[in-house]
Structure 1
Amino acid sequence: MEIRPFTIDIPQADVDDLTSRLARTRWPDGLPAAGWSRGVPLEFLKELTAYWAEGYDWRAAEAGLNEYPQFTTEIDGQQVHFLHVRSGDPGAMPLVLTHGYPSAFAEFTRLIEHLRQDFHLVVPSLPGFAFSTPVRETGWALGRTARAWAELMRRLGYDRYGVHGGDIGAGVSGAVAGLDREHVVGVHVVTDPYTAAATATFLPGMGDRLDPADPVDELALARMAEFRADGTGYLTIQNTRPHTIGYLLNDSPAGQLGWLAESFERWTDLPYDRDQLLTIASLYWFSGSGVSAAGFLYEQAHSSDWGAPPAVPQGYAVFGADATARRLIDPPAGTHWAEYERGRHFPAMEAPEVLAADLRTFFAGLK
C-alpha cells in the first residue's frame, strides 16, 4: 500500500558506459541503398546514434523529468512507477494517461504542459517499461494491468476519474473503464487509419464485413493487406520470441535505438522532437527494460484476459483521418468522434496542443 517518492538518478558510470557502447557500435558493411523497404537505413541510424552519443544531453532530460513528481508503489507484486501532477484547481478531474509500445511515460511530457491546469494527471509506466521493472511474473497483459491501474487510483484517493491512451494504452484504458465502471467517468483513446487497419486484421470476420466494391472498404482492405504483408515483423518476433530479441535490446544501445526509431519514423506524420525520442530510448536503456517491454506483447498475444468492454462514455480522436477509421471501428451511437488531418500514432508528441484540446472537449461534459 505504500507510495514512495521516486527520483531518476542514473549513475554517471552508466551514462559513460552508454556513450562508450555507442562509440564502439559495429556497423555492417555493404548494405544496399534500399530506403526504408528493408528496415532502418544504415546512414539514418548512424547519424541518430552519433547524436545520441555526442549531442543529446541525458542530464538535462533527467532534470526535466524530475520536475514532475514521481512515485512508485507495489501492486499485485509488481513495482509500478508513475508521475502524479496535480492541477492548481483542487476540483479538477483526475485523468490517467497510459502510453503504448514502443514508448514510455516520457511520451506525454509536452501533453502534460497543455493539461496540467485542467486535470490531476496520473501517468504510469506499464509493467515492464522504464521504472515499472523488473517483471518477475508472467501474466502482465491488459486485464491485470487494468486492475492495477484501478487499484492505483483507489490508493491515490480518486473516486471519479477519466482514462486516456493510445496503442497498448488504448486497450488498457478500455479495460479499466470496463473493470472500474463505478469510478471511471469516460474513456478517450487516440488512433489513426493505419493503426485501425492493423487492429482490424486481428478481429474475426472483419474482412467479411467489408465490401470490396465500396471505395472506402476497398482502401481499408488494402491497408489491412499491407499490414499483413509488411507491418507484422516486430509483432511476429515479440509475440513469439521476446527473449531472443531481448538480448539484443539489452546489450546494444544502437540495436535498441533502431528497434524504436523504425516505429517512430514510419508511424508519424508530423515532425516529432528528436530529443524526446532519445529520452525514451535512454529510459529503455538505463532501466534495462527492452526485453520486459517486448514481453508485454507476448503476454497479450497469449492471454484471454482482455477485461470487460467499457460501459462508460467513449471518445475517439483520429489523427491522419480518413473515412476508413470510422468504418473499421464502427463506434456506438453517442461516441465522441473527432478527426484531425495531420498526425498519426504518437499525437502526444506530434500534436500535443490538438490532443489536449480534444481531451478537454470530451471530458468537459462528464465532470
Structure 2
Amino acid sequence: MTEQIRPYAIDVPQAELDELRDRLGRVRWTEELDDAGWDYGVPVDHLRKLVAYWRDEYDWRAWERRLNAYPQFTTEIDGQTIHFLHVRSRRPDALPLLMLHGWPGSVVEYLDVIEPLSADFHLVIPSLPGFGFSGPTKDRGWSPWRMVPAFVELMKRLDYGSYGVVGNDWGSYIAPEIGRAAPDNVVGVHVQQVWSEPSGDPEELARLTEQERAAVAENEWFSGNGGAYDKVHRQIPQTLAHALADSPVGLLAWNGQLWRDSVDIDFGLTNVSIYWLTGTIASAMRIYREFYVAEPVAKERTTVRLGLAMFEYDWNSVRTLADRDHANIASWNVYDGDGHWAAHQATDTYVQDVRAFFGH
C-alpha cells in the first residue's frame, strides 16, 4: 500500500476560506517610521494593499480550478506523503522531466510552462516534502539529501527509466544531487542557480575573473543584508512559525518580502495561500535547518550534463566555481531581467532554454 499512487484533487473547505477572510479583516497593524520605505523591511502601506486585495478581490477558487485542470496524485515514500502533478505529453516518446521548486514557492511556479513544455515532455511537478499539498514532514531529517532518493523512487514508481531534472531555488540544489545519485537514469539537469560558493582558498579566489569576483561580492552583500530569512530558518524556524501559522498577514509579509513587485499579485498570493491553507509554513522552513545540521557529504564532481539559465537580480552563479564542482557543464546562459521565478516571469525565454538544453 505504501507504493500506491492515488489520484488527488484540491478541495479547500469553504469554511477555511471564510476564516482566512475574517482574519484578513481584523489586522492589528504595526507602526513604522514616516520615511521608512523598505529600509526596515516590508512597508505597512505595501502590505495594506496586498491584504486588501487578498481579502476582497483575490479568487482562490479560480486558482484551485486551474491546478485541478491537471492530473494530480499523491504517494507515500519514506513515510512521507508526496503530492505531484503528472502531465503526460501526447508524444509517446517524450522525455520525462522532474521539475522542482523551492521556498517560498510551490508547484504554482510551473503552471505557465505546462502547456508549452508538455508538447515535448512528460512533466512530473511535485510539492517538496513538507511543502504545500505534500503536507508537513513527520520526522526529523528531511534535508535536500533525503529528498534525493525520494524523488528517484518517485520516478521509478512512474516507470520512467530515463529522465531530465529541472530545478529552481532549493530545486536547483536538489536536482544535481539526483543526477549524482542516479547517473544511469538522469540524462541532464537544468537549473537556475549553481550553488557553488568560494571555499576560502586564496588561490581559488585569485583564479576568478574580475566579473566573477564582483558576483561573489554581490552574493556576500545579499547574504549580509537580505538573507535574514535564511539565518532565521536555519537557526530557529519553529519560533517564527508560531507567528506565521497564526497570522496570514505575517505569513504574507515574510514570504512576500522576496518577490516584492517582481511577480504579479495573484501569483504571489496563490503561493502564500497554499502555505496557509495546507499549514506547511513550519515544515517548509525546516528544510533550511535540516540542511544546516546535516552531516557534510563528501562529493566528487558531478558528471551528468548540467545547464544553467540565470536571470538578472537572481543569485549570481560563478562559472569558475561551478566548474570546480561540475565536470560536464553543457550550457551557461545569462538573461536580462528579473527571473528568480523564471517559469512565470520570463516564460518564453525559460521554455526556449529548457527545450534547447534537452534537445527539443
The TM-score bracket by the shorter chain reads over 0.9
Distance in 1 of aligned mates of 2:48 and 2:203: 44
| SS in structure 2 of the partner of residue 127 of structure 1 | coil
TM-score (norm 2): 0.92
Task: Look up the match of 2:28.
Answer: 26
TM-score (norm 1): 0.90
Structure 1 residues 4-13 or 228-237, which shifts more?
228-237
Task: Look up the match of 1:302.
Answer: 293
In the alignment, does 2:117 pair up with 1:115? yes
Cα gap change, 1:241 to 1:158, in 2 (>3 Å):
same
Q: How does 1:1-367 map to 2 (within 5 A)?
A: 1-191=3-193, 199=195, 203-205=198-200, 209-211=204-206, 215-265=210-260, 271-304=262-295, 310-320=302-312, 325-330=318-323, 332=327, 334-364=329-359
CA offsets, 1:237-277, max 9 Å, x none?
10010100111111100111111111112xx8xx4222111
Structure 1 residues 277-286 or 314-323, which shifts more?
314-323
| SS in structure 2 of the partner of residue 188 of structure 1 | strand
CA RMSD of aligned residues (A): 2.2
Q: Which amino acid aligns with 2:357?
A: F
Structure 1 residues 108-117 or 30-39, which shifts more?
30-39
Distance in 1 of aligned mates of 2:352 and 2:290: 34
User: How far apart are 1:31 and its partner, in Å?
Assistant: 3.3
Distance in 1 of aligned mates of 2:19 and 2:317: 47
Q: Which amino acid aligns with 2:345?
A: E
Note if contact 2:307-2:329 (Cα within 8 Å) is conserved in structure 1. no
| SS in structure 2 of the partner of residue 48 of structure 1 | helix
User: How far apart are 1:173 and its partner, in Å?
Assistant: 0.6
User: How far apart are 1:17 and its partner, in Å?
Assistant: 0.4
Distance in 2 of aligned mates of 1:332 and 1:176: 15
CA offsets, 1:133-192, max 9 Å, x none?
12111111111101000000000010100001011001111111111111111111013x
User: How far apart are 1:338 and its partner, in Å?
Assistant: 1.4
Distance in 2 of aligned mates of 1:358 and 1:311: 20
| SS in structure 1 of the partner of residue 130 of structure 2 | coil
Structure 1 residues 227-236 or 154-163, which shifts more?
227-236
Structure 1 residues 215-224 or 136-145, which shifts more?
215-224
User: How far apart are 1:48 and its partner, in Å?
Assistant: 0.6
User: How far apart are 1:111 and its partner, in Å?
Assistant: 1.6
User: How far apart are 1:227 and its partner, in Å?
Assistant: 2.1
Distance in 2 of aligned mates of 1:363 and 1:158: 16
Distance in 2 of aligned mates of 1:186 and 1:125: 21
Cα gap change, 1:325 to 1:36, in 2 (>3 Å):
farther
Q: Which amino acid aligns with 1:291?
A: A
Distance in 1 of aligned mates of 2:37 and 2:196: 28
| SS in structure 1 of the partner of residue 123 of structure 2 | strand
Note if contact 1:178-1:307 (Cα within 8 Å) is conserved in structure 2. no
Structure 2: 5+ residue runs without aligned partners? Answer: none
Structure 1 residues 329-338 or 163-172, which shifts more?
329-338
Note if contact 2:142-2:290 (Cα within 8 Å) is conserved in structure 1. yes
Cα gap change, 1:310 to 1:329, in 2 (>3 Å):
closer
Structure 1: 5+ residue runs without aligned partners? Answer: none
| SS in structure 1 of the partner of residue 358 of structure 2 | helix
Cα gap change, 1:214 to 1:361, in 2 (>3 Å):
closer
Distance in 2 of aligned mates of 1:346 and 1:317: 11
Cα gap change, 1:177 to 1:63, in 2 (>3 Å):
same
CA offsets, 1:42-66, max 9 Å, x none?
1111101110111100111111110
Structure 1 residues 309-318 or 29-38, which shifts more?
29-38
**Alignment coverage as a number of residue pairs:** 354
Cα gap change, 1:357 to 1:13, in 2 (>3 Å):
same
Note if contact 1:210-1:217 (Cα within 8 Å) is conserved in structure 2. no
